[in-house]
């Protein structure tokens, strides 16, 4: 079946611009997660959504970052007023239920000039 998909696959933007990254989870998965992978770094958690519960936003690095999940499916990660240090690969994952195996998408590679 179809896995997690993300778009765009690559995004180049200028410092100060806003960007939106999209994630389509695996159909039927109730939990959705966003992670960031910086060059030479591991993966760091950003935010996750579980069903209708309030999202866990504890990993968002600043108030320039926000995310929403509409209709319990597609999610959008928004970065406002992008900075060069926001350059990274943004990865989305989903799981059938909370605390179960997370399956990752291919990521969006963001470059802020």
Partner 1 sequence: GESVGLHLPTLSVQEGDNSIINCAYSNSASDYFIWYKQESGKGPQFIIDIRSNMDKRQGQRVTVLLNKTVKHLSLQIAATQPGDSAVYFCAEIKGGGGKLIFGQGTELSVKP
Query: Binding residues for partner 1, per CB under 8 A?
Result: 4, 31, 33, 35, 41-45, 48, 50, 56, 58-59, 91, 93, 98-99, 101-107
The distance of closest approach from Cβ of residue 90 to partner 1 in the complex, given in angstroms and rounded to an integer, is 10
Using the minimum distance from each CB to partner 1, give the nearer residue, 5 or 73.
5
Using the minimum distance from each CB to partner 1, give the nearer residue, 17 or 97.
97
Sequence-distant (6+) residues with CB within 8 A of 16 are 81, 82
Instruction: Give DSSP secondary structure letters for 10-49.
Output: EEEE-TT--EEEEEEPPTT--EEEEEEE-TT--EEEEEEE
The distance of closest approach from Cβ of residue 81 to partner 1 in the complex, given in angstroms and rounded to an integer, is 25
Residues comprising the chain, all counted: 113
Sequence-distant (6+) residues with CB within 8 A of 66 are 60, 77, 78, 80
Using the minimum distance from each CB to partner 1, give the nearer residue, 33 or 65.
33
Using the minimum distance from each CB to partner 1, give the nearer residue, 49 or 112.
49
The distance of closest approach from Cβ of residue 47 to partner 1 in the complex, given in angstroms and rounded to an integer, is 9
């Amino acid at each position: 079946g179809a896995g997690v998909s993300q778009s765009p696959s690559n995004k180049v933007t200028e410092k100060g611009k806003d960007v939106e990254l999209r994630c389509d989870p695996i159909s039927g998965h109730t939990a959705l997660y966003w992670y960031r992978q910086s060059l030479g770094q591991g993966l760091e958690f950003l935010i996750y959504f579980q069903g209708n519960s309030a999202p866990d936003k504890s990993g968002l690095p600043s108030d320039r970052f926000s995310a929403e999940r509409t209709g319990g499916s597609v999610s959008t990660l928004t970065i406002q007023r992008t900075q060069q240090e926001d350059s990274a690969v943004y990865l989305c994952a989903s799981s059938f239920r909370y605390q179960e195996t997370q399956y990752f998408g291919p990521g969006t590679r963001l470059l802020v000039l």
